[in-house]
Amino acid sequence: MNTADMGLSGAEGRTGGTRGQGPGGSARTDGEPPAGGWGKVGVPSTALFTDRYELTMLQAALRAGTADRACVFEVFTRRLPEGRRYGVVAGTGRVLDAVENFRFDSGVLDFLADQRIVDEPTLHRLARYRFRGDIWGYPEGEVYFPGSPIMRVEGSFADCVLLETVVLSILNHDSAVAAAASRMAVAAGDRPLIEMGARRTHELAAVAAARAAYVGGFATTSDLAAGFRYNIPTVGTSAHAFTLLHDSERDAFTAQVETLGSGTTLLVDTYDVAEAVRTAVEVAGTGLGAVRIDSGDLLLLAHRVRQQLDELGARDTKIVVTSDLDEYAIASLAAAPVDAYGVGTQLVTGSGHPTCSMVYKLVARADSAAGPDATAPLRAVSKRSMGGKTSVGGRKWAARRLDADGVAEAEVVGSGEIPDELRDRLIQVPLVRNGEIVGREPLDAARDRHRAARAGLPLSATQLSRGEPVLPTEYV
């Protein structure tokens, strides 16, 4: 079922077309975009989306003569959120946009100088900053596990260290939302999901959340900025305020149907649900697109409304439910005659886990300070502290080993020679080469990849009950 089957298209503001992202988070389309263009959004410098100590470390490294040592940083998480079986990589495209826009323009440099954050030689270095290194990573939509080298950033220390905060900010947020979205998509089965959490989070985070939700399996968003920037299909009709505005529910329904057509979705729980359903069919006819229920006992109401619609002859009218849903509430409605779910708060907050606890660690470096020479031998380095915050040194690759039936059975991570039997199962792909973005792709590619990656996991990955990661991580 698609969103058009729910009476949530056409005059109700759905956007469509080829979806993806371009520089600055803009949408890329095949052929001519509509007048005015989709997603033509300018993004200012991302250079200050960072913590102060990134710049003070650079200043000290410049003075010590170590700023140009070849380095390898990796993004990984030591554990999944409690009870989760797998993680979902999301935000990769936004990371590429952030790297591309990481520029210290005159306004930014003036701020750093006025605040005396770094000295004059460091300001001169920052003025010329362009990331010139390489980035490899799990492609967007792929699943990951504890220890997975989700992203590998290579270049000089000066190149790589400045990107730490912005990379983690994007990946931690977007991957958390995508993981929640994936679990909700599993619970929903073939029934489409509508992202509608813009009013429950920061206005810019809402756009990123809608994008991540789309990667994780949501079909549409209510957020027009997400539709504009990423060309995600948008849907929406009316709220309770529209009903309350009018002298009667009938007047409100009539105004909506006359404006948006009989295929619209009418909100039926402002007053009495049964009376509203009866009025809705009288006004729109049996071709009414859908009704939405936003409160009450959704399981009971869905059955009652379905029976009433059928008795009134509106057998093709769909039922959309909203109201503080999460994956567990969606699963509890699996046997109900529900055709689509709208999810807000729980989605944009990661359904209780708003971050993935990803970290960005130096895992290898050259001994020479002469520059990021690709031929210079690298020394593995790692943190060995108390309290579980250790890391594994070395520039790592990752592969997924499959069993005889083609189902994933282990996440294999190594820093040495790649075993021949795993060479065709490597997960990381090039994203940036010598500072040039090479890994951009349409957003639909990430969405399709996630569906395939999730399908390749053991069946227990889709269980909503708490459990350990569905794949063990093996270090070789």
Residues 348 and 373 occupy one common structural domain: no
Give pLDDT, residue 217. 98
Residues 456 and 383 occupy one common structural domain: yes
Residues 227 and 322 occupy one common structural domain: yes
Give pLDDT, residue 21. 40
369 — pLDDT class (breaks 50, 70, 90): low
Q: What's the mean pLDDT when you consider all of the chain?
A: 91
Query: What digits encode the pLDDT tens for the residues 303-344?
Result: 999 999 999 999 999 999 999 999 999 999 999 999 999 999
Give pLDDT, residue 375. 64
Residues 366 and 217 occupy one common structural domain: no
Tokens 């490294």 found at: 61
Determine the Cα–Cα distance for residues 430 and 135; give it in Å rounded to an integer. 6
CATH of the domain at 282: 3.20.20.70
Laid out side by side, the sheet with 358-366 consists of 378-380, 358-366, 70-77, 151-156, 134-137, 429-433, 436-437
User: Per-residue pLDDT averaged across 230-238, rounded?
Assistant: 96
Cα dihedral value 442, 200, 163, 472, nearest 10: -70
Residue at which a domain ends, from 334, 352, 370:
352
Domain assignment present for 230:
yes
Domain assignment present for 167:
no
Residue at which a domain ends, from 297, 332, 352:
352
345 DSSP 8-state letter: H
Residues 223 and 270 occupy one common structural domain: yes
Give pLDDT, residue 372. 54
Residues 466 and 326 occupy one common structural domain: no
% of the chain with per-residue pLDDT over 90: 85
Query: What digits encode the pLDDT tens for the residues 57-107?
Result: 999 999 999 999 999 999 999 999 998 999 999 999 999 999 999 999 999
Helices then strands, each counted (H, E), the chain: 15, 18
Check whether 44 has a pLDDT greater than 90.
Answer: no
How do 408-414 and 473-475 pair as beta strands?
A: parallel
Dig out the tokens for 8 from the structure. 């949530």
Which residues are CB-contacts of 349 (< 8 A; sequence separation ≥ 6)? 180, 197, 200, 201
Check whether 377 has a pLDDT greater than 80.
Answer: yes
31 — pLDDT class (breaks 50, 70, 90): very low
Return the minimum-mean-pLDDT range out of 28-32, 120-124, 244-248, 333-337.
Answer: 28-32
Residues 290 and 424 occupy one common structural domain: no
Long-range contacts of 368-374 (CB under 8 A, 24+ apart): 368/69, 368/70, 369/65, 369/66, 369/68, 369/69, 370/68, 371/68, 371/70, 371/156, 372/68, 372/69, 372/70, 372/71, 372/132, 372/133, 372/155, 372/156, 372/159, 373/70, 374/70
Residues 340 and 371 occupy one common structural domain: no
Domain assignment present for 218:
yes
CATH of the domain at 119: 3.20.140.10
Residues 325 and 382 occupy one common structural domain: no
Domain assignment present for 36:
no
Residues 199 and 330 occupy one common structural domain: yes
Give pLDDT, residue 391. 83
Q: Is 474 helix (H, G, I), strand (E, B) or coil?
A: strand
Query: What digits encode the pLDDT tens for the residues 135-165?
Result: 999 999 999 999 999 999 999 999 999 999 9
Domain assignment present for 242:
yes
Residue at which a domain ends, from 352, 370, 396:
352
Q: How many domains does the chain have?
A: 2
Check whether 7 has a pLDDT greater than 50.
Answer: no
Determine the Cα–Cα distance for residues 113 and 431; give it in Å rounded to an integer. 33
Determine the Cα–Cα distance for residues 337 and 320; give it in Å rounded to an integer. 10
Most confident of 33-37, 173-177, 370-374: 173-177
Tell me which residue range forms the domain holding 282: 3-13+175-352
Determine the Cα–Cα distance for residues 244 and 237; give it in Å rounded to an integer. 15
Closest CA to 240 of 273, 198, 202: 273
Give pLDDT, residue 368. 75
Cα–Cα distances (Å) from 182 to 188, 382, 464, in that order, read: 10, 33, 11
User: Per-residue pLDDT averaged across 41-46, rounded?
Assistant: 70
Check whether 24 has a pLDDT greater than 90.
Answer: no
Residues 371 and 409 occupy one common structural domain: yes
Domain assignment present for 413:
yes
Check whether 463 has a pLDDT greater than 80.
Answer: yes
308 DSSP 8-state letter: H
385 — pLDDT class (breaks 50, 70, 90): confident
Domain assignment present for 25:
no
Residues 361 and 429 occupy one common structural domain: yes
Cα dihedral value 149, 154, 159, 160, nearest 10: 20
Determine the Cα–Cα distance for residues 209 and 195; give it in Å rounded to an integer. 9
Check whether 9 has a pLDDT greater than 50.
Answer: no
Give pLDDT, residue 387. 65
Give pLDDT, residue 198. 97
Check whether 297 has a pLDDT greater than 60.
Answer: yes
Give pLDDT, residue 16. 43
- CB 179, CB 84: distance < 8 Å: yes
Dig out the tokens for 42 from the structure. 């300018």
How do 408-414 and 220-221 pair as beta strands?
A: unpaired
- Higher model confidence: residue 289 or residue 466? 289
- Higher model confidence: residue 447 or residue 386? 447
Give pLDDT, residue 37. 42
Check whether 296 has a pLDDT greater than 80.
Answer: yes
Which residues are CB-contacts of 72 (< 8 A; sequence separation ≥ 6)? 152, 153, 154, 160, 362, 363, 364, 365, 378, 395
Check whether 2 has a pLDDT greater than 70.
Answer: no
383 — pLDDT class (breaks 50, 70, 90): confident
Determine the Cα–Cα distance for residues 289 and 318; give it in Å rounded to an integer. 6
Which residues are CB-contacts of 51 (< 8 A; sequence separation ≥ 6)? 164, 165
Q: Is 250 helix (H, G, I), strand (E, B) or coil?
A: helix
Domain assignment present for 21:
no
